[in-house]
Amino acid sequence: MEKSTNEKVDSFLGYFVEAPRALYHIISDTSVAKVQIEHWDDVSVFDYDNKIKKLEQIKYKSPCNFTDHSKDLWNALYNWFIVISNKREQLRPDTKFVIYTWNKCNIGPLANDFLNIKKNNNFNQIWEKQEKYFKTESHSDEIKRYFEVMNEDKDLVKLILTSFYIEQPNTTSPEDFEKLLEQQYGELFHPVREFNTYIKGKLYISLENPKLKAEKLIEFTRADFDFYKDRYNRPPIYNLLDSSNIERKKIKGLESSLMVKQLEEIGLKDSIENAIIDYIAWDILCLDCLAYGYLAESDIRQVYDEAKREWQENKTYLATKNQEYDGVELYRKCCEEKIQPKSLLIQGSEKRVARGVYNKMANNPVDDRHSVGWHHKYKEKFKDFYEEDI
């Protein structure tokens, strides 16, 4: 683990603070090749030579206190000191050490002295003042320990303090920060809330976990950004896989499935191959779109929930027509419905999408949340299907 003590304790981790901030660095500076979240620092910014351009600690509590010997100030300096102690070769000559405050903060005389060291060229004088302070004044053991550790390598402390600054936002809340991004960068940043979904789909991780540790490397590159930008510059469009591109062995593998058994029972034998093909096409669409961040698992669940409601409504309607047990008619009516994820434009036959969705659901075990059956004795007849087939 690269960081020392700067562990987050609430759900702001990533979603409202670090993820949008990482994206901000990528888009606002073309010399940035990648950013990392919760690794060297809250946000670490790299150039194309894999050198550190900026280490940024994000302070989101209010008020943020940088007056005199405040923990906020000294903890930040100590974290940087520990992180780069053995990694100086990865720093650029102009590496910046930044505290970004999510809200307005109070900056005291000592913090101002640190911020002006480069301009005044008075590091030795300022640091000697700190040595005298900790010798003569009582202070918290934690702050004093920070100073004692850093005092063992004054050159490294000088490197940090001559490149140190505090950045404060123009606004004071996450909502206003979103608006600021939109104003500066247009519609591209309108879906900033979706960034967590994208990260989770693309990198198979979640930024919502407040206990996230730094050994889980979260990296966001310019190539990722271009993908993200393209995704939101136009609606995601997906073509259902053509039946000729589906492997025969996949089709053969589903010929004894629950879905097929039900279709045979209600006399739809002529539709079985198409049903299998659409089932596979829908399954592949879901897997691909989840992997590339077009969809979240919640999007898929929503499709199944809505499809099941349609199925139930059609079943109820048929019951009023004395066709309660007409599985063929129920299948036909449901497959005519327009069913697809709202965040994805699927080109091709809407019937194929609906067939794929319903056949996937019909293939689920009886007690599954997203389970429907075309046979009127579904629960009784197919209850043990999976146990018998395995």
- Summarised one tens digit per residue, pLDDT across range 217-267 is 678 888 877 766 665 555 667 888 888 888 888 899 999 899 999 898 888
| Residue recorded with tokens 């002529």 | 270
Listed residue (354, 383, 380, 353) closest to 368, CA to CA: 383
Neighbours of 205 (CB within 10 A): 17
Q: Residue 10's pLDDT is what?
A: 39
pLDDT tens, 374-390? Answer: 787 888 888 777 655 43
Average pLDDT over residues 87-97: 92
Q: Which residue has the higher pLDDT, 285 or 228?
A: 285
Answer whether residue 209 shows pLDDT above 70.
Answer: no
Q: Which residue has the higher pLDDT, 278 or 5?
A: 278
Mean pLDDT computed over every residue of the chain: 80
- The mean-pLDDT minimum among 8-17, 252-261, 355-364 falls in 8-17
Distance CA 190, CA 181 (A): 8
Q: Which residue has the higher pLDDT, 130 or 390?
A: 130
Answer whether residue 330 shows pLDDT above 60.
Answer: yes
Torsion sign (Cα): 117, 121, 125, 131: positive
pTM here is 0.56
CA distances from 184 to 95, 178, 192, 226 (A): 25, 10, 13, 18
DSSP letters of 55-72?
Answer: EEEEE-SSSEEESSS-HH
pLDDT tens, 151-183? Answer: 999 999 999 999 999 888 665 555 555 666 666
Within 8 A by CB and 6+ apart from 120, the residues are none
